[in-house]
Amino acid sequence: MTLSELTQTTGEWLRGEGPLNDVVVSSRIRLARNLAGFPFLSTAVESNRREIHRAVVEQVTASTLGKDELLIDLDEVGEVNQHLLVERHLISRQHAAGEGSRGVTVSPNETRAIMVNEEDHLRIQGLRCGMQLETIWNDVNEVDNVLSQNLPFAFDQQLGYLTACPTNVGTGIRVSVMLHLPGLRFTKEIEKVARAARDLRLAVRGLHGEGTEAVGDLYQVSNQTTLGKTETSIIETFSQTIIPRIVDYERAARDTLAKQHATRLDDKIWRAYGVLCGARRISTNETQTMLSPIRMGIHMGRFNKFDLKTLNELFLFTQPAHLQRVTGKALDENTRAAARADYLRSRLN
């Protein structure tokens, strides 16, 4: 598989399928691991980074995982491709913006990505559309076991897996679920839900993680405690308690909207469609803001001009790096707004 083949589909996280997919867009698990005998990256020199990078890539290719794995050296692929990987949720923004020897290995169906030399030496990530934490955990756990046969991970009997930041120590696990909550935003109950989640020591963030806004009504809920609990109990709290509850609240809010504010709801959906069909210049943020009520409208059976697959393509292919790939042109911020609007009109009219 090559990097350019990636842009032929929307990838895994926007596939639009999976359990609870009317509210849960995607679910993700990552494990932080470091190689024993090497410094963490804040004190590592370039030769350390290169050695770590090489050791991980060697193990991935030598193991059962690596047959069709896409191995990407971030130092070599250029800025647009780095952003492309961020937009596909395969690497973090920090990883794209980092310096020195670093990379990512991606499985052919994009359900797995191992970031090398991000904040920790390895970040083993599993990603799937809808609510599929158990399947992801099986994948990620297996990858971790396979790699740990030949890569000695830094581990302490008391503190578990040792990580560059002590907030990740122990299991090194971060479970994260991406939710689409336009109903709760509309009924202004979203803050209440976010507060309740924070009381359970969960982080609630926007689309791109830490410090980002919830553009397009997309919220990420993730655990903060990584020590003193087993991986499965952390995952179970999400899949059995937290997420089903939020999904119920969101569905109830959508029901209320349909029953009590049907005209306002339809107005919001169809106006958004109007903007996307008619705009001559449009930003990524505005595009995602407009796509949000339409996504809800599709799930509620109130919108039929296009389906979820098309919506997810529009969501991804209008983002800066993908837009440049789709149009085949290098676009700066100014020309992008017009090119995005052109692309949307060509798809919708």
Partner 1 sequence: MNVICQRCNQAKASVHITDTIPEKRERHLCEECAEKEGIIVKQQHHTTNEILQQFLKHKAAAVGPDAMCPKCGRTFREFQSKGLLGCPHDYEAFRKLLVPLIERAHEGASQHIGKFPVTADTAVQRQTGLLRLRRELQEALQAENYERAARVRDEIRVLESQ
Interface ranges with partner 1 (CB under 8 A): 34, 36, 38-40, 42-43, 119, 141, 144-145, 148-149, 152-162, 164-167, 169-171, 173, 201, 224-231
For residues 222 and 206, is the Cβ–Cβ distance under 8 A? Answer: no
Q: DSSP labels for 15-29?
A: S--STTTTTEEEEEE
Smallest distance from the beta carbon of 193 to partner 1, in angstroms? 21
Nearer to partner 1, 61 or 224 (CB): 224
For residues 72 and 104, is the Cβ–Cβ distance under 8 A? Answer: yes
Smallest distance from the beta carbon of 182 to partner 1, in angstroms? 32
Smallest distance from the beta carbon of 176 to partner 1, in angstroms? 17
Most distant CA pair in the chain, distance: 63
Smallest distance from the beta carbon of 340 to partner 1, in angstroms? 37
Q: Listing from the earlier edge strand, what are the strands of the sheet with 202-205? A: 70-73, 103-106, 112-116, 122-129, 24-33, 173-180, 218-223, 202-205
Smallest distance from the beta carbon of 74 to partner 1, in angstroms? 20
Nearer to partner 1, 188 or 201 (CB): 201
Nearer to partner 1, 34 or 82 (CB): 34
Nearer to partner 1, 121 or 295 (CB): 121
CA dihedral 309, 314, 320, 323 (to 10 degrees): 90
Nearer to partner 1, 56 or 154 (CB): 154
Smallest distance from the beta carbon of 125 to partner 1, in angstroms? 17
Distance CA 249, CA 20 (A): 13
CA dihedral 121, 179, 193, 241 (to 10 degrees): -80
- Which residues lie closer than 8 Å to 196 by C-beta, 6 or more apart? none
Nearer to partner 1, 4 or 138 (CB): 138
For residues 202 and 226, is the Cβ–Cβ distance under 8 A? Answer: no
Tokens, residue 248: 């119920």
Smallest distance from the beta carbon of 333 to partner 1, in angstroms? 32
Q: DSSP labels for 75-132?
A: TTS-HHHHHHHHHTTSS-HHHHH--SS-EEEE-TTSSEEEEESSSSSEEEEEEEESS-
Nearer to partner 1, 120 or 286 (CB): 120
Distance CA 276, CA 222 (A): 32
Nearer to partner 1, 2 or 145 (CB): 145
Tokens, residue 134: 């158990």
Smallest distance from the beta carbon of 83 to partner 1, in angstroms? 25
